[in-house]
């Protein structure tokens, strides 16, 4: 796999996502990298994404991070398993469990691993950390976009 971020390998026509799209000027531009058997994303959210309690991250932002990194994880896992270029995925299901409040001003680390690949459907398990604190877990089911879709 390339040293480039997974999202930079997406075809331009599929690179407009708010969370991870390189072609979205207002987006977050998440970057995911394969590290051993895991896919890892590091991101420090802007202070505008605070939740109802000052100093802590908005839960919707946590879900967004898990969602977009899950898509990147599905892409690289499928590319590795099938020996194909990185494809693009959309979300079929997203589940997030919040374990502890996620503090602002800390680099977040999201770790993902594909747990099942069945044709175009990939299930990914994810963990979100703020430093050493495990703040959230997620599970996504992603469906690969076909070129003629």
Query: Could you read off the pLDDT of 8-34 as tens digits, one per residue?
Result: 888 888 888 888 888 889 988 999 999
Q: Is 114 within a domain?
A: yes
Cα separation of 35 and 43, whole Å? Answer: 16
Catalytic residue among 12, 67, 132, 148: 67
Q: Which domain holds residue 84?
A: 6-144
pLDDT interval class at 148 (50, 70, 90): low
List pLDDT tens digits, range 40-98. Answer: 999 999 988 998 889 999 999 999 999 999 999 999 999 988 888 888 999 999 999 99
Classify strands 38-43 and 108-118 as parallel, antiparallel or unpaired: antiparallel
Task: Based on the residue annotation, tell me whether 67 is a catalytic residue of this protein.
Answer: yes
145 DSSP assignment: P
CATH number for position 63: 3.10.129.10
Q: Residue 69 class from Cβ within 10 Å (0-12 exposed, 13-18 middle, 19+ buried)?
A: buried
Look at the chain and report how many structural domains it folds into.
1
Please report whether residue 1 resides in a domain. Answer: no
């Amino acid at each position: 796999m390339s040293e480039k971020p997974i999202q930079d390998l997406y075809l331009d026509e599929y690179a407009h996502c708010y969370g991870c799209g390189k072609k979205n000027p207002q987006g977050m531009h998440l970057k995911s990298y394969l590290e051993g058997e895991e896919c890892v994303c590091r991101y420090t959210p802007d202070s505008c994404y605070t939740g109802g309690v000052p100093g802590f991250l908005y839960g919707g932002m946590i879900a967004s991070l898990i969602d977009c990194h899950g898509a990147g994880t599905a892409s690289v896992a499928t590319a590795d398993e099938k020996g194909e270029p990185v494809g693009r995925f959309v979300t079929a299901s997203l589940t997030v469990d919040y374990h502890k409040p996620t503090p602002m001003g800390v680099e977040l680390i999201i770790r993902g691993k594909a747990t099942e690949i069945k044709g175009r459907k990939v299930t990914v398990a994810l963990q979100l950390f703020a430093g050493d604190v495990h703040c959230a877990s997620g599970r996504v089911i992603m469906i690969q976009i076909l070129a003629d879709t």
